[in-house]
Amino acid sequence: MCKEVTGETLSVCDSCLYDLSVISKYGGGNAFAFGSGRDFSLPGGAHQPNEYIECDKLVEYTKVIAAYVLKILG
């Protein structure tokens, strides 16, 4: 779905500090999450005091998620 919306291939990854386990526990098995989009060790990375996500990336991620939901709902 990512390639259809953005033209780029989605990079799937995981981490031991990922929050999806908490979301899944309380939100059910149909939950998903996306993080800050940068490595934990970089400034502004996940779980850093200055964690952030760039607005254009947030919009892009949201479009991919919306396209996926629309595809699933038919």
68 pLDDT band (50/70/90 cuts)?
confident
Q: What is the pLDDT of residues 12-36, one digit of tens each?
A: 655 555 666 677 777 666 666 666 6
CA distance 53 to 72: 27
